[in-house]
A and B are shown apart, each in its own frame.
Chain A
């Protein structure tokens, strides 16, 4: 059987089937001694997957002769050869002659010793003479058996192995039986159902190659949305469901007036330090607040003056901060540090609206957009991040209502058991930090901020006293990082993100 290693399993399968038709079962090592086991296994698997054969794998240790043992099998053991030479020379042999006769110094030396020990020969003067007429060459006989059967008595095997005449090898073979669909020929396998087969009807007769259900399917080369934007979508959905209108936060550059002054952040507040806020050098300065379009009928000059007065002198029942308020500071341009600057502009616009009852209408606004902080960048801080912000303006709102709302809002994200802690924020009073018990960390973690906007901030805009306004905010990155177990914010936002991370990120479902 001239099988080479490149033998196709197609031929081999046929051979196996033919061999089985004559004898069942067959042993693969007996039937195909030359063919490497992996070829046989592949062929058997193909046949077995069609239920044409069944097989069992047999593992056993076989003994193989070392080169020295091969010599013993063909020429006899060393001691036997020494005995034969000595016995043949009726007069006995000198050691030199023995060496000459055998032609191998090592064999002579080893064989002599053993032959002495077996009392086959003795020394007679300078000559070696035979003591017996014939001997039994046990070693050779044992090796012959092993060469034939690849095995022998365990003790003998162990002894011969110790004498370095044998090595043991693990050999895998198969016992092959016919199975229910045994036939002499294997039908051609189709890998896939094709249009041609449908057209010709060949599918009816065709045999299909089994599909590997344990492997992954083909790569989709899929497009993907960014995980942060997927979380953003989920938040937007919650806001829409709760009746919030999205604010026009597409305005990164703000004046100190909108970013700070309108929010009752005093001009010496640390948040306005160069270490915290990005100031703009070009363009150099903002204009005074003005109408944003022909429909905007608000009196911006009055608002500007109101804000100055409430800071500097106090107004609307507030004693104010009582410091000389500077217009220049107010008109410095900054990259907004929060989207609350836009909330302020929206609330100021809201103050100009009237509903059918002639009062300012209740409103709900939200935004999810980029904000900027002049931070030292590290694993949890970037100079840019996204703020999720919501504002609810309505009559008769209470603190308990704010907590109730936050419970609903976070509940929609699957975050429950919230706790509220008093906090300080220049533009909300009361201010409440929102905490949730994190199961993984087993402690309360802050998940957001909320509060009721200060009356002196709202009244300066012209909003009625009995209209109260909730504000709340959180970052988009933090819940996303917690959700996906990301520890470095730079792996989430910015150019250092790994594209395969974007591609493989699962769909976001807050309710799951």
Chain B
């Protein structure tokens, strides 16, 4: 959620009320914004700084990313005034300022729009807010300028008609904002490489054959979006006429930005809320049009729908009144089943009648809405079987004196493979593309790393330590849509002065007994010693489990066994138990012997 800092007393003056902290907090709560901080009584506030309010704005309310937007919407909400009637200055199309888009821009940043704020009067506060809104839009809706970039110019320093072109970097020459020397497009990258503010936008253009530029009638560069404007055309407190250029890779967001920019600041023009349009000529793709559109959308919304979901029974007229508090213009329709709702150009967050419905509820007050029973139909509760099975095993282990732990699913590649003397065959583990640290490189394929790390963190405890976990590991699986599947495992680890192998073995016997799987002596010998499942089928043999010695590098030789179960005649290797190899202990920084056990629980479903 974006946070906007506003001058506390200026806001209260604009709202025409001196709020207490509680009453302002309540207003924010009811409206759905959040008062995050009030610096009035903050001892760290410098003496020359006015008290500020930090207000958190919902991520889709682009029309509240500045002082003007917050003040306006809170005033409308409190019935202090209506929604402004934004309109375009009445200028015939052939007299309009023009911005002509060339086809080459398609290679880099294809869309552009323009608008003019005529005879504007900035104060320091409104000027700062104007700059800050551009920044907030760039960061949020425009996704760090990748989708939309805004340039603002003193119209009296440049000369229309304007063009939006894409030129090879070497053909671009201008003095960038706050610089004194001309640089060309090729120098631009290295010039701003280390700039803390602008450096992070360079990647948007870096490898492009052409860079986008806004040029005036004298072919002087006004801006090089999305990086920087020209020094020549920069706006100041004294600027009277502002030309706003906007360029984009996303047409919808371009229109939103264009409407928001002019809607918020046209109130400071000589003729408030009136915007001088720019004709955007785009012949190569047939999208010539006038910007900003300022088009208000109208929706016919069902009265029953609004009333049913909110639980209200308001008349169309009273619904319209409620909606006016949320900046809509709404009127009862000729069909009494509907209200005609006009969505102002600033409310880009309204996509569906459900958004209008929410605003009815907010205007009425969430906490005042009539309550009704949520229990309309009878449904029956039911656990997920694998969780139920897992809970049986966890509980039995705890009853047998073992302590449950919950390590993380993510671990390093080393912990999952090398440290356990296991080899990554590339077909097993799901790997992450963007972890911040090596701790989160793979999704574990075994519960052992987590158990061993937990033991290592608890070495100072009284021995022996007996811990268990029953949780999921993840395997790659090409046959599935998500190319991966979870597997429910159960594992135990014993840490003491002696290996505890028999104790771990005994825990296996105990849990198997509880799962009604009998121990069978295994005398016929077993062919397959591979780690594959489903070794062989022999329906004549009784169901049960047995363990068979294995020699695997994770374990100490002669003290490790595979665990097999035969269920419904099908024999499966479900896991292994053993004394860990001393080299494994060393890797996990464990000083005493450890015996472990790990099996797949899903065969018992």
Contact = CB atoms under 8 A, between A and B. Distances in A.
A317 B379 CA distance: 31
Contacts of A339: none
A92 B309 CA distance: 129
Contact of B450 (A258, A274, A281, A495): A495
B474 interface: yes
A468 interface: yes
Nearest to A241: B381
A224 B404 contact: yes
B338 interface: no
A497 to B, nearest CB: 6
B184 interface: no
Contact of A226 (B308, B349, B369, B404): B404
B351 A318 contact: yes
Interface in A198-251: 221-226, 228-229, 233, 236, 239-251
A140 interface: no
Contacts of B466: 223
A32 interface: no
A270 to B, nearest CB: 7
Interface in B440-459: 440, 443, 450, 453-454, 456-458
A400 B309 CA distance: 8
B498 interface: no
Contact of B311 (A251, A382, A399, A422): A399
Chain A interface size band reads 35 or more
B377 interface: yes
Contacts of B250: 268, 323
A87 to B, nearest CB: 78
Contact of B352 (A258, A403, A455): A455
A499 B467 contact: yes
A67 interface: no
Given A224-B404, A228-B406, A253-B482, A495 B457 contact: yes
Contacts of B394: 225, 229
A420 interface: yes
B374 A397 contact: yes
A494 B355 contact: no
A339 to B, nearest CB: 12
A402 B372 CA distance: 8
Contacts of B309: 397-399, 452, 468
Find the residue from B310, B383, B474, B481 having the highest chain A CB count within 10 A. B481
Contact of B432 (A279, A286, A419, A493): A279
A429 B481 contact: no
A441 to B, nearest CB: 15
A362 B404 contact: no
A138 B513 CA distance: 93
A39 interface: no
Interface in B302-332: 308-311
Interface string A290-327: 10100000000000000000000010111111110000
B380 A245 contact: yes
A243 B383 contact: no
Contacts of B465: 499
Most buried by B among A240, A283, A322, A468: A283
A327 to B, nearest CB: 14
Nearest to B485: A251
Contacts of B482: 251, 253-255, 258, 286-287, 333
B433 interface: yes
Given A283-B430, A495-B454, 9 more contacts: A223-B404, A245-B381, A278-B440, A280-B432, A404-B371, A422-B362, A424-B32, A493-B406, A499-B461
Return the 9 tightest CB-CB contacts between A and B, nearest first.
A422-B32, A424-B58, A398-B311, A405-B374, A495-B453, A240-B381, A362-B377, A253-B484, A283-B483
